[in-house]
Amino acid sequence: MKKLIRYLLILSLLVLAIVFYSLGSINNLLILLIIGFGLEVAFWLLAFKDHRKEKNKLTRS
């Protein structure tokens, strides 16, 4: 169940980032583009969070 919630959160961040990018470029509003960028950064950080932890565990063993 935790994985499902995590995947839904990651997908939501990606969709919101696309929406904010679209609204920012249509209306030429820099703040919406900045919010979209922040959401995209959060998406990428959450998407690869477990991968980095697993890699660190393997190198420490």
Q: What is the pLDDT of residues 1-60, one digit of tens each?
A: 788 888 888 889 889 998 888 888 888 888 888 888 898 888 888 888 765 565 666 666
Q: Where are the domains of the chain?
A: 2-60
Please check the confidence at residue 61 and state whether its pLDDT lies above 70.
no
Alpha-carbon Rg of the chain, whole angstroms?
15
The closest of 2, 3, 34 to 20, measured between CA atoms, is 34
- In the chain, alpha helices (H): 2-27, 30-47, 49-60
- pLDDT at residue 50, as a whole number: 66
- pLDDT at residue 1, as a whole number: 73
